[in-house]
């Protein structure tokens, strides 16, 4: 019985860890980015694949976009979330095809 409880506790903490380490795809969904953006189609904002193409050869893209989204400069909304979430979201955007 004790062993069973231990197994459950360990399984539980793994599940919690998985929720914490969100993928970029989950972040853009959870933060409402997809209300204005789509991976392939221009909506209110440009398609993520077009953003990826625009920044393809820009090594500083992650930093530039991170600053824009954090300060809400050159972007209609400010990113409300952790740095890790923003990083994951931008990696997702910049790898869109």
The set of residues, in sequence order, having a beta carbon less than 8 Å from that of 97 and lying 6+ positions away, is 49, 52
Closer residue to ligand HEC (CB): 25 or 45: 45
Asked if 40 touches ligand HEC (CB under 6 A), the answer is no
Burial class (CB in 10 A: 0-12, 13-18, 19+), 48: buried
Candidates 3-11, 12-20, 46-54: pick the segment binding ligand HEC (CB under 6 A): 46-54
Three-state secondary-structure class, residue 37? coil
- Give the separation between CA 86 and CA 83, rounded to whole angstroms: 5
Residue from 26, 29, 45, 62 touching ligand HEC (CB under 6 A): that is 45
Q: What residues between 57 and 96 interact with ligand HEC by CB under 6 A?
A: 65, 68-69, 74-77, 79, 89, 93
Residue from 39, 46, 62, 70 touching ligand HEC (CB under 6 A): that is 46
């Amino acid at each position: 019985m004790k062993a069973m409880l231990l197994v459950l506790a360990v399984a539980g903490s793994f599940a919690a860890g998985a929720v914490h380490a969100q993928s970029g795809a989950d972040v853009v969904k959870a933060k409402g980015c997809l209300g204005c953006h789509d991976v392939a189609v221009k909506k209110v904002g440009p398609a993520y694949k077009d953003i990826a193409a625009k920044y393809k050869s820009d090594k500083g893209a992650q930093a530039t976009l991170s600053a824009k989204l954090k300060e809400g400069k050159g972007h209609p909304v400010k990113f409300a979330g952790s740095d890790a979430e923003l990083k994951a979201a931008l990696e997702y955007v910049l790898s869109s095809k």
